[in-house]
Amino acid sequence: MVWTDPYLETCCRSALHRLILAGTAGRPPALKDGACLARLETMGFADRSQDGRYMTTEDGEKRHRAEILKQESTSF
């Protein structure tokens, strides 16, 4: 199996998990993990809302399930 997904540093995996936990409220950019949130945005795992808060994307949710929760992706 060839790994084709971009590598996530430990800090970015943690930021992705916190982003998921924030849910619809999102995360403000002025936190310690702001650099990781910006990196997640460039990778397509996060996006910014109108008020500048980071929100998870569908790809971010998939990556969280696969890498952090260690759940296989199922498609029917």
pLDDT 10s digits, 10-54: 999 999 999 999 999 999 989 999 999 999 999 999 999 999 999
Give the contacts of 29 (CB within 8 A, at least 6 positions apart). Answer: 37, 38, 48, 52, 53, 54
pLDDT confidence tier of residue 6, bands split at 50, 70 and 90: confident
Domain edges within the chain: 10-68
> Whole-model pTM?
0.85
